[in-house]
Amino acid sequence: MSYCVNCGVELSASEKRCPLCGVEVINPVAPYDPAAEKPFPADVETVEHRTVRRTAAAVLSLLIVIPFVSVIAADLIDGGRFGWSVIPAAAILLGFMTIVFPCLFKRPKVWLFMLFGVIEVAAFLFGLSMWLKGHWYFTFALPMTALIGAYLIGCWLMISSKKARLPLKVIIVLVMTMVLVLVMQLLIELHIRGRIRFDWSIYTAISCGIMSIAVLIVGKLFRKREDFRKKMFF
C-alpha cells in the first residue's frame, strides 16, 4: 500500500497517479500494477445537470399551474367573469418567473436574475395600482422596490466577492443596511404624513454603526495576530 507524497491520500497498486492531486506515484517496493483491482468502478455514471434543471422546472411549473388554474376557475364559476382572480393569478405568474425561469439556464447569474425579479415586482405593483386605481405607485411602491432590490443585489455582490476580506464584507453590508433603513423611513413618512422624520431608523442605523466599528476593530486585531504568527513561524 502506498501513500501520495504530496497530499497523503492512500493509494492502491492500480494507481499510476494520485486520483486526488494528480502527482505521479513512485514506490519501488509497490510498483504500479495495471492488472490490479481498482478501488472504484471503471464506468462512471454521469447525470446531465441540464436534465435535472429541466425536470425541476417541470415539477415547479406543475405546482404553480395548479393554483393558477384553480383561482381563475373559481372566479369564473363564482362570478362568470375575471374579477378578483387577476391579482392572485398575476402573483402566481410572478412567482413562476422568479423561481422557475432561472432553472432553465445552465449557469444563471444570481445578481442578474435578482435584477429581473425587481423589475417583475415593479411591473406587478404597477399593474396592481392600475387595477385598484391607486396613486401610490410612483411616490412609494416604485422607490421602495428599487431601494430593496438595490440593497439585496448589493449584499449578494459583496458576499459573493472573492477579493474582499470577511470583515470588510460585513462592514459594507452593515453600512448598506444603515442607508436602507434611513431611506425606508424617509419614503414611509413622506408617503403617509408628507413630512421628513427619523426615529426608529436612527436607532437601527446607530446599532449598525456600532457593529461596524466593532467588526473593524476585531478584523484589525485578528490581522495583526496572523501577521505576528507568520513572522514568528508558529
pLDDT, tens only, 185-221 = 999 999 998 899 899 999 999 999 999 999 888 888 7
CB 204 within 8 A of CB 190: no
- Over residues 2-40, the pLDDT tens digits come to 777 788 777 777 777 787 787 887 776 666 666 666 666
The pLDDT of residue 28: 67
Nearest to 33 by CA among 16, 45, 46: 16
With CA atoms as reference, report the closest residue to 101 among 121, 116, 111, 122. 116
Hey, which of 23-32, 44-53, 95-104 has the most confident mean pLDDT? 95-104
Residue 181 has pLDDT above 90, yes or no: yes
Percent over 70 (pLDDT), the chain: 83
Q: Given the DSSP bridges, would you call strands 10-11 and 2-3 parallel, antiparallel or unpaired?
A: antiparallel
The secondary structure element, H or E, covering residue 115 is helix 110-132
In the predicted model, what is the mean pLDDT of residues 62-66?
82
